[in-house]
Structure 1
């Protein structure tokens, strides 16, 4: 405590730029929270370039996960490598924080959490967008009774598919991909943050096209196979009794539905985009009219990496908000939903988690 958490990044793909930007901002405004000390990537040239730009060391993956000057390994590799890198870091006594999902399979995710507990290290996982002022303001409004007892929620993500803009979208359409496992973590984590853990699910899914055509980049016009369901819908029964309806699709053109709404007997909330940290929360109380709530909780002007910073300032023994336990439960919900879609029957979600504590309204992790 009192010293910044020394972070080493493994994996320097597109998402790493957002983390680097956040760490640079935190390092300037709040230098005692986190400090980037090393980077690693399978592409040594890329690692060297980023290291030179950031003024840190470029290491191999093995070197970084065992380096004595690294306190936490930030795992930004592809999902298939999440468990391998996390286990390697945990074995070296490091805290770990990974991009979503926690692992490619529930079995691998379970192994990561078990290893972390055995080693006495902390395991965190994205998405940390739920720590921003948008979702947290909605959470505070619900906790404060603004809508009464929550009854239901809807969460909707409808797009034509990522191949329109992504130059290498193949993995979105292979096992481990699809709209639910790709974008679902933002929506399901938000639902768990707002309404608590999920007890059971029932779902259905469809696979409308066998191929997709890449729309941009050097492979524009290339045809790729589709081996996953591309439209998934289901109902989540929360342990509290509230019901959430989830629709995740790569088969639509557009939607005018709010991305997330939460309804109670006394009012309804429109929740901002869960893939962002900010946005307006709108409340419609019974007998009233829509109005925008002022920010009431969460980190203002946050960005990807605030989950790491929040972990850094969380005292020992206090549950981490963007935790591996929450990420495991979210992965369990999603895989259970896909299992239900395949079997045609409701599936009990075996895991649970504590609802993360509210983030007090703040400009900085504290």
Structure 2
């Protein structure tokens, strides 16, 4: 087993890479050694900005022997291909959401990793942040009793009012379900365990939308995915959840509420790493705020946990199995919306362990 900080390379030098690089460069247990992109000039620019020694193509960074983990930040349609090439080069992989475009593609990635004895990790890692970890501790302490029902919702009018190039949000592999669903579904599975079956109803309010800002303002584009999704999720032996994912709502909501036999929890936005976390019991009429403790370091803590777990020989938390389950949930919700039937879920990942109370991303633990 190797010692010392874990070498990391990023593939995909788009906007999100900046967040990852800022955070990963601040964690002493990882070393960012490479940045790759199909636009090698952009890769070089990003590498210079963040003092990364190697830039170029995917092949370039895969050839760096000290790189142990490839962080895949490419567009969703490239996720599986980049993951497979990285695995075949002997690297562990951690990918942005979704794990792949389809469950068949994702299954190939997982099978390849298993055959090669390598690990797969996947975003989102927001469930490792202080807000949702504090919710996990509150739930496991029995604060609200046994979970009975969950309401989850992410609702807005969509991103085209502010995003200058919003078309991709309305293409297959996106929409409110695949774009925002991973945050909510990953949070729920990390708290309540795997889902056994789903049912859904889907709608599309408009066949075309207008770009609302930037050079293309006023340009229309087609909508090729459902933009309002209502889903039912059955957690065997636990709660049932009603979830709404919508780009058709004049009411902005980001909500997860867990109702238990003794009270209720109101969780923070699962696309964040902090609070607030609220609770009430059966005798209370108002919410009270609970303490929130843990890390708020941001995107990349899943990569760090993978790195530390590699050295320790322990399971990592933002696992490929969890990401696969969430992808299967989204695919089944989409299929149920088309067929008007319950869809069983075959995968059942282990529920991630809570982070230790003293888990500190900025402490050097790997010597």
- Using the size of structure 1 for normalisation, the TM-score is 0.95
1:180 and 2:180 are equivalent in the alignment: no
The 5 A counterparts of 1:54-203 are 54-55=50-51, 56-203=53-200
Structure 1 residue aligned with 2:257: 261
- Counterpart of 2:301? 306
Selected match of 1:244 from 236, 241, 246: 241
C-alpha distance in 1, partners of 2:154/2:251? 9
- Contact between 1:300 and 1:362, CA under 8 Å: does it hold in 2? no
Q: Is the counterpart of residue 329 in structure 1 residue 312 in structure 2?
A: no
Equivalence for 1:8: 9
Provide, for residues 145-200 of structure 1, a one-character-per-residue CA deviation record: whole Å limited to 9, x for no partner. Answer: 01111111111000101111222111111111110011000000000011110000
Q: Is the 8 A contact 1:258 1:270 kept in 2?
A: no
In the TM superposition, residue 44 of structure 1 has moved relative to its aligned partner by: 1.4
Q: Report the number of matched residues.
A: 358
Pairing 1:232–2:232 present? no
Query: SS state of the match for residue 203, structure 1?
Result: strand
Match of 2:204 among 204, 207, 225: 207
1:295 Cα deviation after fit: 2.2
Distance in 1 (CA, whole Å) between partners of 2:360 and 2:218 is: 45
- Contact 1:234/1:246 (8 A) holds in 2: yes
User: Residues 258 and 172 (structure 1 numbering): CA distance in 2 closer, same or farther, change over 3 Å?
Assistant: closer
Alignment partner of 2:105: what SS?
Answer: helix
Moved over 4 A (4+): none
* Structure 1 residue 350: Cα displacement: 1.3
The answer to whether 1:344 aligns with 2:346 is no
Shift of 1:360: 2.2
Distance (whole Å) between structure 2 residues aligned to residue 174 and residue 7 of structure 1? 31
Deviation at 1:316, TM superposition (A): 5.0
Return closer, same or farther for 1:143/1:85 CA change in 2, 3 Å cut-off. same
Report the Cα distance in structure 1 between the residues aligned to 2:62 and 2:107, rounded to whole angstroms: 20
> Contact 1:80/1:104 (CA < 8 Å) preserved in 2?
yes
Whether contact under 8 Å (2:126, 2:273) holds in the other structure is yes
- Secondary structure of residue in 2 paired with 1:39: strand
Q: Quick check: 1:295–1:361 contact (8 Å CA) kept in 2? A: no
Whole-angstrom distance in 2 between the partners of 1:61 and 1:166: 28
2:34 corresponds to which of 24, 33, 38: 38
Structure 2: where are the runs of 5+ without partners?
none
Shift of 1:52: 1.4
RMSD: 1.4
The offset of 1:21, in angstroms, is 1.2
Cα deviation 1:78-106 (Å, max 9, x = unaligned): 00000000000000110100000000111
TM-superposition CA deviations, 1:108-148 (whole Å, max 9, x none): 00111111111111100000000001001001111110111
